[in-house]
A and B are shown apart, each in its own frame.
Chain A
């Protein structure tokens, strides 16, 4: 059974940093592209970052480019999202999601999400 379990969320002040983790199980983590997607309270879904299966490429939404960094450790089956210079508009539920072998594939499994609240 595929499982994705996020952690690391919380309440932080504007301008601060936070690092999210997502531990994967039930599939060969090192073979799949992985994503982070967020959902602001009562809002829609926003894709924010992709990392290739071998970390050779990373893509970001313009809204987080230069502030967020996606990474992975295939030896630990873990995906990360390092978030710097956090703003109030980054307040959201953050989900990790499994992509495909290929680049242009949907998100077939999602974690339960972790809440990040940016407020003074």
Chain B
């Protein structure tokens, strides 16, 4: 199985700041990488797919990048509504696997 190592596990930042979350795959996943946002009490929602494509309705302050085994999610101009957990997920091979998540809080 492909292991997804996500960092940091938690993150505290101020409103308006830029934050970056990293995700490393145990093998090349050819940009078959998605990022999900899960707000407290809600189900996950797709943010980014194919490593850098924005899902429908997602604000442009979210962006994804990376290739091979290294990927990142960047959130510009942090807003209060961005408080959530963020998960990366590879869909290059079954079983699809997720990172353990990053919990983002506002300072």
Contact = CB atoms under 8 A, between A and B. Distances in A.
Interface in A29-87: 35, 44-47, 50, 59, 61-62
Nearest to A98: B46
Contact of A105 (B43, B91, B95): B91
B86 to A, nearest CB: 11
A106 B49 contact: yes
Chain B residues touching A, range: 20 to 34
Contacts of B100: 44
Contacts of A95: 43-44
Contacts of A111: 43
B89 interface: yes
Nearest to A107: B46
Contacts of B96: 35, 47
A106 B89 contact: yes
B45 A46 contact: no
A44 B91 contact: no
A44 B99 contact: yes
A19 to B, nearest CB: 20
Given A104-B32, A106-B89, A47 B95 contact: yes
A45 B98 contact: yes
The list of the 6 closest CB pairs from A to B, nearest first, reads A106-B34, A110-B43, A47-B96, A45-B98, A106-B49, A44-B100
